[in-house]
Amino acid sequence: MFEPAIITHLVIAELPGALRELPSDQLNLLVNNIKNLVFGNIVSGEINPAMQDAADHYQHLHTISRAAQTVVALSLAILCTLLAWRSIHKEQRARNSVERIIMLFLIASSSIAVFTTIGIILSVLFEAIRFFQAVPLTDFMFGLKWSPQMAIREDQVGSSGAFGAVPLFAGTMLISFIAMLVAAPIGLMSAIYLSEYASKRVRNIAKPLLEILAGVPTVVYGFFAALVVAPLIRDSGTLLGLDVASESALTAGLVMGVMIIPFISSLSDDVINAVPQAMRDGSYGLGATRSETIRLVIIPAALPGIVSGMLLGISRAIGETMIVVMAAGLSANLSANPLQAVTTVTVQIVTLLVGDQEFDSPKTLAAFALGLMLFITTLILNVIALHVVRKYREQYE
């Protein structure tokens, strides 16, 4: 597995001194050429004797490594056979050791989740720290201007390299706010209707239908937003005499709201159903109507669960990527007008990282800093929400 890396290193060590001193990108090119020479591919540039030597050396090492691999594999096999042979005897409790090994596998599997979290934190954090070495944290957190084009030449125009993330945060908030404005009332009311009013037949039909909305991939919503909703909103804006940007925050927010409706409705549905029937019966016994029971008894009792459902919905909206990539704008405007184009954190991560990139320019690293912000924000929302849900479940069990 590590064979090519080791061999490459050895070959570089054997190169003539002058070639070894080359900057790393040129050295890479040279190594590539040598490899091409070895494997008989097309070589760019001309072949000099040093390269030919290196290629021969590479080939030699390659042969040695093949032989070494065979020897190692064979001896491992023999060793294992001997070990197995020796351990077979009457006192050997084979099952116990097999079970211990299986147990280790189970523990390892369950710790993968923890390693994933650690991996996320470390990978994002390291790149973000490198970014903050180039751009001060305060500039990033409080700067009002976002234009991540870095100047390649000193005198280049239009590439200020400003990394003030406030417009992105504001845009994200605006779109999430619009989304929740759509999703919260519709989601909650449909959950209430379906769990308290609807007949069993209506419920059995409407609930799965609404849940289809949750299964639709976000890229489909993005296409829907760009193809259907955006022209619709622009045209109706023109009818009303308003100037609507074709990538308005309203479009993205509206469609994102539709995506979150089933999420909120199924979470609210769960908590409403968890409210004990005795509380409803008590309220009806006092002569309250159904809506009074719902508004004055059930919703207050289910409020923690509903609120945490909303928090999870907000965290969804903040982290949602494809809808905003396809329907929201790219330019970072600091504006609270839903008819204007704004951009979001996730859109910027995608635009910064898709396409050609180098791992050490602040432009690429900025994406990781944004990713860190995104991760922290959604993590806080999730932790609060899940904690509340857990507490709430215990209360009624």
386 binds another protein (CB under 8 A): yes
Nearer to another protein, 51 or 309 (CB): 309
> Among 168-176, 244-252, 294-302, 329-337, which window interacts with another protein (CB under 8 A)?
294-302
CB of 168 closer than 8 Å to CB of 196: no
Closest approach of another protein to the CB of residue 242, in Å: 22
Q: Across the chain, how many H-helices and E-strands are there?
A: 17, 2
- Which residue number, 163 or 221, has a Cβ lying nearer to another protein? 221
Cα→Cα distances 271→18, 257, 293, 301, Å: 72, 21, 15, 9
Dist. CA 348–CA 140, nearest whole Å: 14
Smallest distance from another protein to CB 16, Å: 27
The answer to whether 370 and 345 are in contact (CB under 8 A) is yes
Q: Which residues touch 310 (CB under 8 Å, ≥6 apart)?
A: 180, 184, 264
* Site string (122-161) toward another protein, x via CB under 8 A: -xx-xx----------------------------------
Residues 72-111 that bind another protein (CB under 8 A): 95, 99, 102-103, 105-107, 109-111
Task: From 22, 373, 30, select the one nearest 172 (Cα to Cα).
Answer: 373
- Residue 133 CA, distance from chain mean position: 24
Q: How many CA atoms lie within 13 A of 137 on its CB side?
A: 5
Per rule CB under 8 A, is residue 375 in the interface with another protein?
Answer: yes
For the bound state, the minimum distance from the C-beta of residue 130 to another protein, rounded and expressed in Å, comes to 11
- Distance (Å, whole) CA 186 – CA 190: 6
Query: Looking at beta carbons only, is 295 or 391 nearer to another protein?
Result: 295
Quick one: which segment of 15-23, 71-79, 163-171, 260-268 binds another protein (CB under 8 A)? 260-268
Please report how close the Cβ of residue 173 comes to another protein at its closest, in angstroms. 15
Q: Which two tokens stand for residue 375?
A: 């991760």
Contacts to another protein from residues 158-197, by CB under 8 A: 185-190, 192-194, 196-197
Using CB under 8 A, count the residues that bind another protein.
Answer: 89
